[in-house]
Structures are given as C-alpha cells and as structure tokens.
Amino acid sequence: MSKQELPIIDAAVDVSGAACCAPLACEPLSESEAAELAPLFKAIADPVRLRLLSLIACHEGGETCVCDLTAAFDLTPPTISHHLKVLKQAGLIDSERRGTWVYYWINPAVLARMSALIGPASPVLAGTA
C-alpha cells in the first residue's frame, strides 16, 4: 500500500472496542488485527492531523466548520484539506457539506476501538507506569 492509499472503513461495520481485540497489555495482536488497525494509527501519526482530530473532538456541539479549522493553523487551506481527507479516509472523522462550508465530526466508534486497544486492561495495569 502506498503512502497515499488508506483503506476506507465501512461505517456499517461494528468497530466498537468490545468487538475488536484485547488491549495490547493482555495479548498480542494477530497479523490481521494489526494490518486492520495500523492505518488508523498511521493517520494520526502526523502532528497536524492529531491536532485537527483534537480540535474537532473538543469543539462545542461535536462538529466544526472547516473555516474554524483552517484559522487554527499557519497552513494553506489545500494542506488542511489534504490532512482532513486522510483522517476521513481512515474513518476517524466524517463530514457534510452545508452550502459553501464543510462540517466535520469525530467517528466515536473508531476512536473507542483505538482507545480500547491502547488503554489499560485492568485497574492493576492502569496504576503501573
């Protein structure tokens, strides 16, 4: 898979944390689980995309206009659009055009799946560093 190709996650597929896999601290990922999850982590492995995801998630009302996102960066609008496209292709965000603006929101099921994977498996593990 090239750098520009990320698989699109089917929104109809259940991606809740319970259906995924055990946290990394409990058992190793299978080869297929790792291959399925790697593009999600790859999509947020860029500082701009990680910050975009954070800005969208923290925005009041759960969604934000692209105009608010571009104002938060010292980057050109096409660069911001590229990063949003990568996040959307990975299934981390979704969007809707309303007039001339596009509004973005987080896909909570995908974030929950990622969080379940890297989160502590038990209270005992949560207390260790």
CATH code assigned at 114: 1.10.10.10
Confidence category of residue 116, pLDDT binned at 50, 70, 90: confident
The answer to whether residue 15 sits within a structural domain is no
Query: pLDDT class for 102, splitting at 50, 70, 90?
Result: very high
Look up residue 77 and give its amino acid: P
Assigned token pair, 60: 């009041």
* Over residues 72-89, mean pLDDT: 95
pLDDT recorded at residue 22: 62
Beta strand extents in 1-129 (DSSP E only):
63-65, 93-98, 101-106
pLDDT of res. 30 = 84
Domain presence at residue 52: yes
Note whether 43 and 49 are within 8 A (CB): yes
Q: 7: which DSSP letter?
A: P
Please tell me the pTM assigned to this model.
Answer: 0.72
Domain membership of residue 11 (yes or no) is no
22 and 120 in contact (C-beta within 8 Å)? no
Sheet holding 93-98, edge to edge: 63-65, 101-106, 93-98
Please tell me the total count of domains within the chain: 1
Residue 19 belongs to some domain of the structure: no
Q: Is residue 14 part of a domain?
A: no
- Is there a domain that residue 51 lies in? yes
Where does the pLDDT of residue 20 fall: very low under 50, low under 70, confident under 90, or very high at 90 and above? low
Contact 73, 50 (CB under 8 A): no
With respect to residue 45, please indicate whether it lies within any of the assigned structural domains: yes
pLDDT digits (tens, 9 = 90+) for 33-73: 888 889 999 999 999 999 999 999 999 888 999 999 998 99
- The mean pLDDT value for 70-99 works out to 95
**Per-chain mean pLDDT for the chain:** 80
Supply angle C-alpha 83, 63, 50, rounded to 5.
35
**Is 17 within the bounds of a domain?**
no
Which 8-state DSSP code applies to residue 22? -
Which of residues 38 and 129 earns the better pLDDT score? 38
For 56, the domain range is 29-118
Higher-confidence position of 92 and 114: 92
